[in-house]
Each structure stands twice: as C-alpha cells, then as structure tokens.
Amino acid sequence: MTTHTGHTAAIPATKVIGTAVYNTSGEHIGTIEDVMLDKLSNGIMFAVIGFGGFLGIGEKFHAIPWSQLDYQEHRAGYVVPFTKDQLKAAPAYSINELAGADGEKARDASYKYYNVEPYWF
C-alpha cells in the first residue's frame, strides 16, 4: 500500500480480513474476505474483495492488487482508486477460481484490467 498509517509497515492478515472497502466516491463497495498469497514467491498475490449483493453477481469476488488498497483512518477502511462502473465491469471469480491453479489466471487478468504493474516480473 502506498500510505504510512501511524508509521507502521506491518499488518497481520487477520486484521486486514473483514475490513471495509470504499471506492473513490466514498461508496462502501465491499469487504476484504481474504488475502491470496503466492506460494512460490514472497508476493502478496491480491486481496479478495467480496461485494455482496452490490454488483448482483452472487458469490463472485474481485482480485484487487495489494498496492491499490489505501487505508484511510477516518473511514476505518480501505479505499480503491476505481469508479463504480470500473468495478462493475471488472473480472469476478468464485473462491475456487481464485485459489489453486486458477489464482494466477485471476491475478493476471485483474492486474491487467486495473492497469497495475505486475510484481512478479
């Protein structure tokens, strides 16, 4: 993430999971359901965001690059620099598609969609 929060650099995964996520307009768009870790490197693959009924896509999740999550203390949540429309059109996956072998596919497609530089090169 790009901001220093209280001058700390470390955050436990258990503290990240369950945190609310907002978009740039301040709309509450979901919750961090999990954090996907790369077994074969030291990289945080992506955050798994659940949007509930908001996008009307049932149990689908978005794979948001870790670097795009900006914690804002006054909101007690993360803000992602994406509009509602961008998120609506973003790739969405089931939990099975995100874990296991397909995690990489979701990662690659999502980084491309959000135009975020890959960490794995």
Site residues (CB under 8 A) for its own copies?
A: 1-17, 34-40, 42-45, 48, 66-67, 71, 95, 98-104, 107, 119
Q: Is 63 helix (H, G, I), strand (E, B) or coil?
A: strand
Between 12 and 53, CB nearer to its own copies: 12
Q: Tell me the chain's radius of gyration from C-alpha atoms.
A: 14
Would you say the C-alpha torsion 89, 76, 12, 52 has a positive or negative sign? negative
CB of 32 closer than 8 Å to CB of 49 = yes
Residue from 58, 40, 36, 52 nearest 110 by CA: 36
Compare residues 14 and 56 and give the one whose CB is closer to its own copies.
Answer: 14
Residue 84 C-beta: closest distance to its own copies, Å:
26
Judged by beta carbon, residue 26 or residue 118, the one nearer its own copies is 118
Q: How far is the CB of 116 from its own copies (least distance, A)?
A: 10
CB atoms within 10 A of CB 26: 10
Cβ proximity to its own copies: between 11 and 89 the closer is 11
CB of 25 to its own copies, least distance (A): 24
